[in-house]
Amino acid sequence: MALYWPEQHVALEIVDDPHARPFDRASDPDATVIQTTVAEISDLESFRALAKRLAAALGENLPEDTPLFRRRQADLHAFALSRANRCRPSLHNRCNTTAKGD
């Protein structure tokens, strides 16, 4: 899967997602393409490093690395992974993002 920020010419490409298409480099030959893997996204410390690389490429600054920031980042990471784990492996099926009790 490729996420793309056209104004900044930055793409994030998850290279080992079997259902994703790679970033179309012909559409923006000057784009910075950051490649990552599902394993990197799944690991909190690797996810944090990826966030720093992506922020730098986008010309953004992450908030100060405080205990509160790290806790919120960990909460967001856990939430995103819990939602992603509900997705079915088929590209043609919809992702069930409704948590039990929602």
pLDDT string in tens for the chain (102-residue length): 589 999 999 999 999 988 888 999 999 999 999 999 999 999 999 999 999 999 999 999 989 999 999 999 999 999 988 877 766 454 334 444 444 444
Please report, for residues 28, 43, 90, 97, the alpha-carbon distance to residue 5 in angstroms, rounded to integers and kept in the order given: 11, 24, 26, 24
- Structure tokens, 66: 């405080």
What is the domain count for the chain? Answer: 1
H or E segment to which residue 79 belongs: helix 67-84
Q: Which amino acid is at 20?
A: A
Residue 102 in domain: no
Residue 67 in domain: yes
Residue 101 in domain: no
How far is residue 35's CA from residue 12's CA, in Å, rounded to a whole number? Answer: 6
Residue range of the domain that includes 78: 2-84
pLDDT for position 17: 84
- Structure tokens, 30: 């000057």
